């Protein structure tokens, strides 16, 4: 029995009642990619890496966050160049199906990214709170200093208020 394992032209074949791989040993499906699929996957990986470089160049992505995306692009390129590498990874994980290994790795990557971004968001929320508090303190100190100078602590400055009779009639500000 054979079945389509991944979208496109990647096909995994399984034969026999025990699930032995066709042309292989150990009972795990083989990943076989056509040359066109491998070239397409390599081009997508290169385009992705170029996109990450462009984001850095335009200051849309900081260098410290780009490392994970370069690693993802490199992993895509390695997967395109060496499709048998996924079988090795599946064997190391103790998984018989390469699709399960691939989806498990992607899930772990996404969970790691979500955790990383949650940490970054928490750190930035703390910084925003601290900066807002510092700004409020600075504004309050500035207002207190201007109130002290307005009451009479100013050095030779005359304070005029509308309607206090000092200086005659005043035109409204505007």
Q: What is the pLDDT of residue 163?
A: 55
pLDDT in tens, 33-48: 788 998 999 999 999 9
pLDDT in tens, 58-96: 999 888 888 888 888 999 999 888 988 989 999 999 999
Domain boundaries, the chain: 35-82
Q: Which of 73-82, 145-154, 160-169 has the lowest mean pLDDT?
A: 160-169
Q: What is the pLDDT of residue 55?
A: 94
Phi-psi region of 23 (alpha: psi -120 to 50; beta: other; left: phi over 0): left
Q: Which of 3-7, 55-59, 120-124, 131-135 has the lowest mean pLDDT?
A: 3-7
Collapse the DSSP code of 32 into the 3-class scheme (helix H, G, I; strand E, B; otherwise coil) and give the result. Answer: strand
Q: Could you tell me what percent of the chain has a pLDDT over 70?
A: 69
Q: How confident is the model at residue 149 (pLDDT cuts 50, 70, 90)?
A: confident
Residue 67 tokens, joined? 């490392």
Full-model pTM? 0.58
In the chain the beta strands, taken as DSSP E runs, fall at: 2-4, 11-15, 20-21
CA distances from 142 to 81, 131, 136, 162 (A): 64, 16, 10, 23
Sheet of 2-4: strand order equals 2-4, 11-15, 20-21
């Amino acid at each position: 029995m054979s079945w389509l394992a991944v979208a496109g032209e990647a096909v995994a074949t399984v034969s026999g009642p025990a699930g032995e791989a066709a042309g292989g040993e150990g009972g795990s499906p083989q990943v076989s990619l056509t040359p066109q699929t491998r070239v397409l996957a390599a081009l997508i990986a290169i385009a992705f890496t170029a996109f990450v470089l462009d984001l850095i160049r335009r200051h849309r992505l900081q260098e410290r966050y780009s490392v994970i995306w370069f690693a993802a692009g490199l992993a895509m390129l390695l997967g395109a160049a060496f499709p048998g590498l996924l079988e090795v990874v599946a064997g190391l994980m103790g998984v018989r199906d390469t699709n399960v290994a691939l989806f498990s790795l992607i899930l772990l990557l996404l969970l790691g990214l979500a955790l990383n971004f949650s940490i970054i968001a928490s750190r930035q929320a703390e910084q925003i709170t601290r900066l807002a508090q510092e700004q409020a303190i600075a504004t309050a100190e500035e207002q207190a200093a201007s109130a002290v100078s307005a009451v009479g602590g100013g050095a030779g400055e005359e304070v005029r208020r509308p309607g206090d009779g000092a200086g005659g009639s005043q035109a409204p500000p505007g």
